[in-house]
Amino acid sequence: MAKSSNERATLWHQRLGLLNTTSLKKLENMFNGMNLKEVPLHHVCEACIEGKHQRTSFPKDEASKASKLLELMHSDVCGPMKTTSRGGARYFVTFIDDFS
């Protein structure tokens, strides 16, 4: 069954690492069976759309900021580490004061 030109374009787009249509058309003569003459310049690719999304920034709400030392602390635990410390520990904890 013959594939439509849109299906061929999508296949080459995926094979070549989500290459844009303009560049695909430039490469057309370099590959056998890459007939893309009827392909529109823009086609919809979910992976490309998702890859271009931007995360919205965090709100700059001053109410969640600490106004004095030790009012708000952030901590994180890291481990287990491959190499143990001199005391035999495989984890470590960080503490960050939001105010300072």
Q: What is the domain range of residue 13? A: 5-51
Q: Are residues 14 and 45 in the same domain?
A: yes
Q: Are residues 45 and 9 in the same domain?
A: yes
Q: What is the share, in percent, of the chain residues with pLDDT greater than 70? A: 85
Q: Are residues 47 and 75 in the same domain?
A: no
How many structural domains is the chain composed of? Answer: 2
Is 36 part of a structural domain of the chain?
A: yes
Q: 48-74: string of b/e by CB count within 10 Å (b at 16+)?
A: eeeeeeeeeeeeeeeeeeeeeeeeeee
Is 25 part of a structural domain of the chain?
A: yes
Which pTM value belongs to this model? 0.44
Is 43 part of a structural domain of the chain?
A: yes
Q: What is the pLDDT of residues 74-86, one digit of tens each?
A: 999 999 999 999 9
Residue 5 burial (CB count, 10 A): 14
**Mean pLDDT calculated for residue range 1-5:** 63
